[in-house]
A and B are shown apart, each in its own frame.
Chain A
Amino acid sequence: MSSIKDFASHFFVTGDPLIYGADVSIVLVSLAIVFVLTYYKKWGWLWREWLTTVDHKKIGIMYMIAALLMLFRGGVDALLMRMQLAWPNVHFLKSEHYNEIFTTHGTIMILFMAMPLIFAMMNIAVPLQIGARDVAYPYLNAISFWLFFFGAMLLNLSFVIGGSPNSGWTAYPPLSGLEFNPGPGENFYLLSLSISGIGSLATGINFLVTILKMRAPGMKLMYMPLFTWSVLATCIIIIIAFPVLTVALALLFIDRLAGAHFFTMAAGGNPMMYINLFWIWGHPEVYIVVLPAFGIFSEVVATFSKKTAFGYKSMVASMMLISVISYFTWLHHFFTMGAGADVNTFFAISTMMIGIPTGVKIFNWMFTMYRGRIRLTLPMLWTISFIPCFAIGGATGVMLAVAPADYQYHNSYFLIAHFHQVLIGGVVFGMIAGMYYWWPKMFGFKLDERLGRWAFWFWQIGFYVCFMPQYALGFMGMTRRIYTYPDGLGWGPLNFVSTVGAFLMGVGFIFQVWQIVYSIKYGERDLTGDPWDGRTLEWSIPSPAPHYNFAVIPHVKGPDAWWTMKQEMKKEAAVKVDPAEIKPIHMPKNSGRPFIMSVFFFIAGFGLTFNWIWMGVFGLAGVAICLLLRSFEYDTDYYIPVDEVKRTEAALGRL
């Protein structure tokens, strides 16, 4: 009896009202979900339509929902931290708790919010933009999603079971090693990132192949929409960078599980090797998340300026250049770790060089608007606001690249302000713009403009109020990751302002939730499939897109394929499909295995987190069996008959 009690008291995190609150809400939400699904008899629907789907559009939507939930979780973390820092000597969070919160905040925001959000946009738009019926490996796509999902669940579970990781999202040894960090927290971090990392790598491969192999006839590389180009660049980075992360995490895990010393100085290991590996992945990672945002801005700017994107070739070249240079900059994350002047100089200059292609893109976006007709819709508002925000963020980035100056900025709030400016002003603004832009394509209705504008202004004002003071705090010597600070340093007022700004952004987020709920009921329905007068192929089909995307695969004759077709069609009026051209459509079958296999991954991850080898082995065996079963499965696809396609298209008014 007492041993059970003892076990439970280590297993369940206790002693903090926030955690009891989380316990209660987890139980309540789970019960509510179970109740609703049972009451409305939706279990079968959930399984057939969502859990087993291999349709890229639905997977994209699931990514988006999961990412928005994680934005909420990471956002609550952020508000808790900002409350703790609002003035000197606050006793709201204890040190331990603050440390866990900034660690999970960073980890979740980068890996379980930004990453899935770009995967959401890729899934939703890329196959449609290139005139394909699905991605190259639909089944693998489902696996990627569920691995991300269960990886994220594993990390979130640490909040109430076992304890969260607490050595920062970078998890530098020796702090994250066994000696200074016993307990399951860091294991949660290592295993959840490893599991979702497999999914990310697979997505990179999947979309690279999709873009190279599945384009509609006639679509040369240089005819591809810029968003697709940005995804291509991103995939190349993912494929090269993610294996490095996997290795770094695996070695650290071996250090922790088996007492090896890859990353501690004992027995000849070296923590700097972890730091090198981490940032060889970590710096390209920021371009993995920001390049798709660049792609989205390029689409949005062209569409809402009614103009071809300016300097298409430069845009492509700059993205490719960024994907290469981003590999030669990692050391700027530790200029102050004793590297020689020669090494620091090299990495200082290579980092500054990234500013060149980025600057070029900013000018090209502006000149896409020049001599156009700018419609200030929601996606366009977010895009326009991105430009000054990212210009400032990029400028402070160049300042950070000046190595001797970075000796002063490093680990200070100046750095915190810089990376939030590029991550929020670049990635988050970009994904929000993309969400508004493609929303009608996903769901068949537009999001309400009025509520969206309120959200926009709260976010914008909140952003500057929150982060501009942090640059100043950096100059005042305030270091990052401190949970409290003494009176008398003058840090209080600016921190207070910063906290107010964070809450304004929170209000902006609430407006967006309200906007979505409101628009489900009252949002303007999109009956044309082309609500924005778009330029690329996704706007040539109905909203939401039918299961098979294109009844007839289009022929592409140049850039801005749909825009050109529309110009030609002006004479013939509406969009029609020629019934004679419809052929049976080859589609992949749904499968429950990606979901089940990911559950086994989750079980393995959970077991290894607690060093329960039997459970780890059990989970991995389950994974192996799933893989084995798949290799004996031959009946994985089917054809949609012509009649059914005709019926669908007729119902959509396209015949």
Chain B
Amino acid sequence: MKQRRLLNFVKLAVLSALTAVFMAGCSPDEYMVLHPAGPVARTEYDLIVLSTILVAIVIIPVMAILAYIVYRYRDVPGNKAPYMPEWADSKVLEIIWWGIPIVIILLLAVPTAKTTFALTKPPVQDVKPVTIQVTSLNWKWLFTYPDQKVATVNYVEIPAGVPVQFVLTSDSPMNSFWIPQLGGQEYTMPGMAMRLWLQADKPGEYFGSGASFTGEGFAHMQFKVIAKPQSEFNAWVTQAKQTSPGLTKDGYEKLKQPSVLSNTLTYSSYPQGLFEEIVDKNGGEYMNHDFMGNEQKDQSGNMNHDMQNHQMSDSMSH
């Protein structure tokens, strides 16, 4: 008996400590995923909330029923609850609990499908998007801006309120490009150029990181995303062009060497076609890439390069 009381006490203490920590750590901006700052992240957040509610509808009653059953039917002398050792099946009950999860899953499947398709398109249609090419290196992020012709390392500037089409590749093992407050991640893969739409509502600084392991310096692949009003973004471009050095072929080869950078870099220019060259040299030549982000022609439609796209072009080219 004493032992049990001690255990209960320990349980209580741990639970309250835990609650305290959660409350303390609950300053809003730390929970990035739960504080979306753009339409893509918001759509994803809505689904997170919806799915949480739907699963809670099932598991909360389950726990309550479990607690009740274990208490009511425990084997103690004098327990008057009915005991029916042979009662082992009931069509009605089983139909109910095959049915409930089916309904829940249907309720979840429909919005899932809708959103999955919606996210392949730019989040807003009436603003002209910008394209930014992203290359993951060992262990840094290179951003090239095909329209502005500037480049940055370990930070990226975007205009606020404008859909941004990131085109992703890697000149190192594959990584994953993730800016939680703007939206979910996508892999950067050598030899492939994949697309991801993100957008920031308003100016601000957002946290970004590499999410897929790439070796020794991986933990340091975090970067800042700076969203500015379009005019300030343009001013930033002009300034970068005037005050920064250019990135040369040699410069790129040096940048590419495995190392961790503790600072950020800005370049007024970069070799033309650098991104395409990176994709091709890593095996992109074996795939059909008519979309590396330079052409604005097919913005709305089927931007996401898909599996089929990989495989077919793989087996068909050459």
Contact = CB atoms under 8 A, between A and B. Distances in A.
B88 interface: yes
B97 A388 contact: no
B222 A407 contact: no
Contacts of A369: 69-70, 73
A408 B48 contact: yes
B205 to A, nearest CB: 12
A157 interface: no
Contacts of A395: 55-56, 58-59
Contacts of B309: 340
Nearest to A492: B25
Residue of A180, A270, A313 with highest tally of chain B CB at under 10 A: A270
A345 B116 contact: yes
Nearest to B86: A308
B116 A403 contact: yes
Contact of A175 (B105, B173, B314): B173
Contacts of A311: 88-90, 94
Contacts of B55: 395-396, 398-399
Question: Which has the most chain A C-beta neighbours within 10 Å: B34, B43, B54, B94?
Answer: B94
B173 A174 contact: yes
A374 interface: yes
Contacts, number: 322
Contacts of A299: none
Contacts of B83: 306, 371-373
Nearest to B139: A95
A231 B218 CA distance: 41
Contact of B73 (A338, A345, A374, A404): A374
A558 B10 CA distance: 46
Interface residues of B, number: 111
B184 A336 contact: yes
B78 to A, nearest CB: 12
Given A336-B184, A359-B100, A411 B178 contact: yes
B212 interface: yes
B274 interface: no
B105 A355 contact: yes
Contact of B63 (A391, A402, A489): A391
A268 to B, nearest CB: 5
A600 interface: no
Interface string A481-512: 11111100110011001000000000000000
Contacts of A167: 213, 215
B120 interface: yes
Contacts of A204: none
A355 B101 contact: yes
A265 B284 contact: yes
Nearest to B318: A268
B294 interface: no
A370 B69 contact: yes
A52 interface: no
A360 B215 contact: no
A271 B22 CA distance: 40
A388 B66 contact: yes
B59 A338 contact: no
26 contacts: A175-B213, A265-B190, A265-B191, A268-B314, A272-B310, A336-B185, A338-B304, A340-B120, A343-B307, A344-B116, A349-B113, A359-B97, A371-B73, A371-B84, A384-B66, A391-B59, A402-B47, A403-B112, A404-B44, A407-B183, A407-B186, A408-B184, A461-B14, A465-B14, A477-B32, A479-B210
Interface of A: 95-96, 99, 166-168, 172, 174-175, 180, 264-272, 305-314, 334, 336-345, 348-349, 352-353, 355-356, 359-360, 362-364, 366-376, 384, 387-388, 391-392, 395-396, 398-399, 401-408, 410-412, 457, 461, 464-465, 468-469, 472, 474-477, 479-486, 489-490, 493-494, 497
